[in-house]
Amino acid sequence: MNTIVKQNEKLFNSNKLSEVNEYQSKLNEYQDFPEYVDLELPSLRSNVDQGKELIIEIGGYRATLKQMSLPSPSAVVSGLTTGIGKLMDQVRVIATIPTNYKPLYGVACVGAAEAWIYGNNQTITRIDIHGAVRDTVTTTCLDWSGGISVTRGRELVYSDDNSRTVNIFRHGKSKTLITTPQDWTPWRLCCTRSGDILVHVSKWINSQRKNTIIRYQGRNIKQEINKDGQGNPIFKDGTYSLLMSENNNEDVCVSDVNADTVVVVDNTGRVRFRYDGTPARILKSFAPRYIVTDALSQIIVADINNCLHILDQNGQFLRCVDVCGLKKLRGLSVDSEGRLWVGLLDTGQIKIINYLEQS
């Protein structure tokens, strides 16, 4: 291609009419690129005995490699950090963070001691565990963002329903990552461990709001989650957004607010189970909202009835948490230490809850 560009530059300045007339464009030959490029990643191989070191020097740089035994797959899944054990007998609030957002609409943790939050204005703010403001993003949203999430690289991602875009805040600026299909509006988001982004999108058809989830790999649509094996809709039509989280086994766990049900589908889009809140035996009807998964592959669901439902990855009810002064939950996230950050709508406070034992 570089050679052809140079030839074209020479031809552009040529006075020979025959060369111009005989020119044939190579544009069609180069304009179609494969959607995915399968590259074989290089690997470093050596005969280093386990426990011994290999020292490599390149110029003024020196690196020491030490071969370690790999953890078992179960150990990898069991914790984002070491030391996370089973559910505590008594959960406890270890911090209450005040914020300037009243109402507070969402929380997305960044590491162990910070989180992005937003409310009913055009800003999204990063605060630390003491409530100090670390950064502020002014979005182009007309009212407020439809949803926020954090990538595996700890970058903020947010949706703008007015422009039908999903944007990333990088190096102090917002950049468009995704533009949703025509007539489909993006709302809630979930960044996965693989780097994909799950986006709830909706559109109005014959006075009904249709809901679906799209998995994006970069700008490309990798998967649409909307129908089961029999062609029936997985999610109920309605005005409320779908909230979602991806589990360690790649299940997509969804709060279908319009159906007052949690729906869990596997990575192929097959429905594994539904949870309607019955095992918790709460007095009021189950009304799920925010949903997250943790290092133990447990599913935590915020119920509008001021409590949290905790399920295992197969939908077995484990516990209901309703003793931490949780009122009008609006936002739910898990930090890298395995603690829950729970946002409260009216007060704008965030409660940090320890619910897992540290082994």
Q: Does the residue 55 lie in any domain? A: no
Phi-psi region of 318 (alpha: psi -120 to 50; beta: other; left: phi over 0): alpha
Q: Hey, what are 48's tokens?
A: 């280093």
The rounded distance, in Å, linking the Cα atoms of 145 and 175 is: 15
The rounded distance, in Å, linking the Cα atoms of 256 and 62 is: 53
Rounded to two decimals, the pTM is 0.76
Q: Does the residue 22 lie in any domain? A: no
Q: Does the residue 92 lie in any domain? A: yes
Q: Does the residue 16 lie in any domain? A: no
pLDDT digits (tens, 9 = 90+) for 246-274: 999 999 999 999 999 999 999 999 999 99
Give the H or E element holding residue 105.
strand 104-110
pLDDT band at 58 (very low <50, low <70, confident <90, very high): confident
What's the whole-number mean pLDDT along residues 288-303?
96
**What is the domain-level CATH number for residue 293?**
2.120.10.30
Helix locations, 110-176, DSSP H: none
CA 89 to chain CA mean position, Å: 30
CA distances from 329 to 7, 8, 38, 156, 349 (A): 64, 63, 44, 22, 10
**SS3 category, 17:** helix
pLDDT band at 72 (very low <50, low <70, confident <90, very high): very low
Q: Does the residue 254 lie in any domain? A: yes
Task: Say if residue 74's pLDDT is above 50.
Answer: no
Query: Strand pairing partners for 166?
Result: 159, 178
Q: Does the residue 174 lie in any domain? A: yes
What's the whole-number mean pLDDT along residues 49-75?
60
Q: Which amino acid is at 50?
A: Q
Q: Are 44 and 56 in contact (CB under 8 A)?
A: no
The rounded distance, in Å, linking the Cα atoms of 350 and 96 is: 6
Q: Does the residue 148 lie in any domain? A: yes
Name which residue leads in pLDDT, 104 or 71.
104
The values of phi and psi at residue 235, to 5°, are -110, 150
pLDDT band at 66 (very low <50, low <70, confident <90, very high): low
What's the whole-number mean pLDDT along residues 17-43?
68
What's the whole-number mean pLDDT along residues 317-330?
88
Percent of the chain past pLDDT 90, that is, above it, reads 66
Question: Residue 100 has what DSSP assignment?
Answer: S
CA distances from 336 to 74, 85, 114, 339, 354 (A): 18, 14, 10, 7, 12
pLDDT digits (tens, 9 = 90+) for 112-145: 999 999 999 999 999 999 999 999 999 989 889 9
What's the whole-number mean pLDDT along residues 219-239?
93
Name which residue leads in pLDDT, 70 or 355.
355
Residue 194 belongs to what domain range? 80-358
Q: Does the residue 167 lie in any domain? A: yes
pLDDT digits (tens, 9 = 90+) for 175-205: 999 999 999 999 999 999 999 999 999 999 9
How many domains, in total, are found in the chain?
1
